[in-house]
Every structure is written in C-alpha cells, then in structure tokens.
C-alpha cells in the first residue's frame, strides 16, 4: 500500500522470511533487522530479484541506539517485531535471554514511540501458558490466564506487559500474536520443526522419525506471516494479545497429508502428546482482523513439499539442510 515502509526484526527466521516475502511481492519497501548472518530461509522462498529489493540492517535489538536509528533512518511506518531467542537458549543463558527478549522488546516499543509511530506488532508465544491440565477442557479461551513454565514464557509474558504499559502511558497501540507450531518452508529449528523436517525428508525420498505426536495446532508459515502483516495494518486501538488457530490435527493426519503427496514416504512418530493445551480459539483475533482464513493442512503440506522439491532441483537445498 502507498507509502508503507516495514521494518521486520528477526526476519532471517522462519516467520520473518515469509513476512518479508509477502511484503516484497506486494512491492512494499522492507527492511530486515536481524543479528544473524544467514539468508538461507529467504533464499528458499524468494527469487534473487525479490531478495535484491530487501534492505538489510545487521543489528542487535538489545541496543536501543541501533534500533532507534534503524527505525528513523528507514522512515519506517510499520514494525513487526519477531527477533528473539528460543526456549533452549533462554534456559541455557537466562541473562542473555532477558536482554534480547525483554530489553529488546522494550527497545522496539521505545524506538517506535520516539519515531512517532502509533502501532507495533510483535510475537508472543503460547509458552505464556501452563500445562494442559491447568486449564478447562476444550479450546483455550482468549481470556485464559498465562502461567508460564519457562524463562522464555516469562519473557514473552513480560513483552505483553510492556505493550500494555506503552498503550496506557503513551497511547502506543499494539497487537501481540502467539503462534503455536508453525510449519512450512524455513521452519528448520526447534523440536516442533520435526513435522516440517518430515516433509523435507519426503521430498528427498528419505525416511524420518518425528519425536512427538498427539493432537496440536499447526499454523502454516505463510498464513502466520499474513496474519502478522494484517495485524500491522489494522486500525486497532489498544494493547491486546491473540492466539492463532490453524489446523488442529493429530500427528497421524500430518503423516497422511505427506503420504498423499509422496505415497512412498516412510514417516514414523512417537505418539506422545505435548504437555501444552492442544487447541485455542481465535474468535477475538478474527473479530479484530475481520475474519481469518487458514490454508487447509493438506494444501500447506503439499505446497511445502513442492517448495522443497524445487529448491532441491535447483541445488538450493541439500540433504544437509535436513537435520
């Protein structure tokens, strides 16, 4: 849309790569603000021409001066904040985790405020919730209380508090989104990346074992990215955080979706349920955004395998990309 300029932090990650791809395909000037050096996820889903349109800033969200300059120098109108350290890193080094995930998020809000922006979108996580037995049966409701059980979850809960205070003190509006299990091209790290790795294995004609199972919510990376972008463009006023939904399926259904595309795929799994609530309702987000569309699982899996196959054929993805 006219005059939009997006800054996407953590955009070398899985969700960010899809955000960048979709923005570039709309012709929106987009800046990647990320500390990491590898552009492999962007290269997997974007052409070289598309990639050439992206502005890259190598920077650390925990440095306020750097973040503030990036926002101002790029004339940013919209921020999608995705940079963060994941559960194992926050566990191994809680101090660093807090610096990146807590201070980094404060810096994003502070830089947005100083630049006169009115709205920020950021990633929280379902890690703010406790174990499934701590909640009533059925889909977790929008109002369910956070009860994090990891440093990472506590930091994400702090981000939600930071967002609320910037709204109360400064009128800086925000939407936080809590992804669950994102799948699709570019999802290549973390235990819940294993269903995507199974799709890659199927594309390569290899066998694969998924180390968990049960019933969970799966969100296609492209859908997730589009919801982040729509949340950045909405006229929403306030500071709220929303769960996403997507496909609520048993692991056996994912394997069946893979085998529908690759009938000879040898995919096995441990049918162990993850300890988190398995399903969440998304009516509150749908009402803010004016409806939500999710790609059906079978289509998301087929598209993912197709992206992997074409990347392998073009020599852009090797077997080493698997594990």
Ligand X SMILES: NC(=O)c1ccc[n+]([C@@H]2O[C@H](COP(=O)([O-])OP(=O)(O)OC[C@H]3O[C@@H](n4cnc5c(N)ncnc54)[C@H](O)[C@@H]3O)[C@@H](O)[C@H]2O)c1
- Indicate whether 179 belongs to the interface with ligand X (CB under 6 A): yes
> Which residues contact residue 212 at a Cβ distance below 8 angstroms, ignoring those fewer than 6 apart?
191, 192, 194, 251, 269, 270, 272, 273, 274
User: How many Cβ atoms are within 10 Å of 135's Cβ, its own excluded?
Assistant: 17
Q: Per-residue contact track with ligand X, 1 to 40, x per CB under 6 A?
A: --------xx-xxxxx-----------------xxx----
- Indicate whether 195 belongs to the interface with ligand X (CB under 6 A): no
- Indicate whether 196 belongs to the interface with ligand X (CB under 6 A): no
Phi/psi at 61 (nearest 5 deg)?
A: -65, -15
- Indicate whether 62 belongs to the interface with ligand X (CB under 6 A): yes
Q: Do 80 and 13 meet the contact criterion of CB atoms below 8 Å apart?
A: no
From the list 238, 228, 227, 202, the residue with the least C-alpha distance to 292 is: 227
Out of 60, 279, 281, 298, the residue judged to bind ligand X by CB under 6 A: 60
- Residue with smaller CB distance to ligand X, 241 or 257: 241
Distance between CA 178 and CA 64 in Å, rounded? 24
- Indicate whether 97 belongs to the interface with ligand X (CB under 6 A): no
What is the torsional sign of CA 164, 165, 166, 168? positive
Give the residue carrying structure tokens 């294995």.
201
- Residue with smaller CB distance to ligand X, 85 or 311: 85
- Indicate whether 181 belongs to the interface with ligand X (CB under 6 A): yes
Out of 28, 45, 100, 292, the residue judged to bind ligand X by CB under 6 A: 100
Distance between CA 149 and CA 163 in Å, rounded? 21
What is the footprint of ligand X within residues 203-232 (CB under 6 A)? Answer: none
Task: Give the nearest distance from C-beta 176 to ligand X in angstroms.
Answer: 10
- Indicate whether 123 belongs to the interface with ligand X (CB under 6 A): yes
Residues that bind ligand X (CB under 6 A): 9-10, 12-16, 34-36, 60-62, 82-86, 100, 104, 123, 125, 179, 181-182, 192
């Amino acid at each position: 849309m006219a005059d939009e300029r997006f800054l996407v932090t953590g955009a070398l990650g899985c969700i960010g790569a899809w955000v960048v791809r979709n923005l570039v395909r709309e012709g929106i000037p987009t800046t990647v603000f990320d500390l990491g050096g590898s552009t492999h996820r962007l290269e997997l889903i974007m052409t070289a021409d598309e990639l050439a349109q992206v502005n890259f800033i190598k920077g650390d969200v925990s440095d306020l001066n750097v973040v503030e300059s990036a926002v101002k120098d790029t004339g940013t109108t919209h921020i999608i904040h995705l940079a963060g350290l994941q559960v194992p890193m926050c566990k191994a080094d809680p101090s660093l985790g807090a610096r990146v995930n807590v201070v980094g998020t404060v810096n994003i809000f502070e830089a947005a405020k100083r630049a006169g922006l009115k709205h920020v979108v950021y990633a929280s996580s379902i890690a703010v919730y406790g174990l499934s037995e701590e909640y009533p049966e059925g889909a977790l409701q929008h109002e369910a209380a956070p009860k994090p059980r990891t440093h990472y979850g506590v930091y994400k809960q702090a981000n939600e508090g930071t967002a609320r205070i910037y709204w109360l003190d400064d009128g800086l509006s925000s939407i936080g989104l809590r992804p669950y299990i994102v799948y699709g091209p570019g999802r290549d790290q973390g235990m819940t990346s294993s269903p995507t790795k199974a799709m890659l294995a199927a594309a390569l004609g290899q066998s694969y074992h998924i180390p968990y199972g049960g019933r969970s919510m799966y969100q296609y990376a492209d859908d997730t990215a589009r919801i982040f972008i729509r949340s950045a463009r909405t006229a929403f006023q306030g500071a709220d955080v929303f769960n996403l939904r997507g496909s609520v399926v048993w692991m056996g259904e994912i394997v069946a979706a893979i085998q529908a595309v690759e009938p000879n795929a040898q995919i096995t799994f441990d049918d162990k349920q993850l300890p988190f609530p398995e399903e969440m309702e998304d009516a509150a987000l749908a009402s803010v955004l004016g409806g939500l569309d999710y790609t059906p699982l079978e289509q998301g899996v087929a598209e993912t395998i197709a992206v992997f196959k074409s990347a392998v054929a073009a020599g852009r993805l090797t077997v080493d990309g698997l594990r």
